[in-house]
Copies of this chain bind each other. A is one copy, B any other.
Amino acid sequence: MLGLALPPQATQVGLAVDIAAFAMHGGELRVLLVQRGELPHARDWALPGGFVQPGEELHEAALRELRTETTVQLEPRHLEQFYTFGEVGRDPRGRIVSVAHLAVLPHGTVSVSGGGHTLGAEWLSAHHPPRLAFDHQTILTRALLRLQLRLEYANLALEFLPDTFTLPELQTVYEAILNRQLDKRNFRKRLLAQGILTPSGERRSGVGRPAQLYRRAKNVRVAAL
């Protein structure tokens, strides 16, 4: 084999991943944030993330950081790379390029505490987050845009809910992500017409008329891209 080493002009940079992980909590769209324990930006909120290890795939790094920086138990239901942030001055420690990922965690995955070198982790409002470290506000904004795109188009909303759910619950997910109100009748028509939901038993809510429970129909999968 000839010439198969990294050529000298190959710039070495720090390679990182950051994750915008979303879930529903309290009828609101939340994003998982960690409180940094180290400089720079110590004690500021930031998206979970960190450096990719040698021989580690990008999505594996994203999963590992989610698990070690926060004690999130469940697997994400959706994980996709959506943009790479490599601006020269984005990190004061040097040239660090971050491949940003969008994750969706199912309902019930809401108890988190800090892990690794973070002071804590919390689910905070995705549309009105606190001030974020580095360029993480930019990353979050772009993640929200991508999430809204994917919603209309790949049934990502189902990934936010448990196996069985009611139509009003599903509508709440849509409204939280799109950040606007939807018409109940039109929403039901549209979703049922897609044929991706099948009814099961009934359910008593705390108050008011009980809602029909649905589950995702067999052979329904989320789009890959």
Using a CB–CB cutoff of 8 Å, the interface residues on chain A facing chain B are 1-7, 9-16, 38-40, 50-58, 81, 83-84, 86-88, 92-97, 99, 145, 225
Contacts and interface: CB of A to CB of B under 8 A. Distances in A.
Nearest to A84: B84
A14 B94 CA distance: 15
Nearest to A58: B86
Contacts of A39: 2-4
Contacts of A13: 12-13, 15, 52
Contacts of A9: 50-51, 53
A14 B6 CA distance: 8
25 contacts: A1-B92, A4-B40, A4-B92, A4-B93, A5-B93, A6-B14, A6-B94, A6-B96, A7-B51, A7-B93, A9-B50, A9-B51, A9-B53, A10-B94, A11-B52, A11-B53, A11-B54, A11-B56, A12-B14, A13-B52, A15-B86, A57-B86, A58-B84, A58-B86, A81-B83
Contacts of A2: 39
Contacts of A83: 81
A6 B93 contact: yes
Given A56-B88, A84-B58, A14 B10 contact: yes
Given A9-B50, A10-B94, A13-B52, 11 more contacts: A2-B39, A3-B40, A6-B93, A7-B93, A13-B13, A13-B15, A15-B15, A15-B86, A57-B86, A57-B87, A57-B88
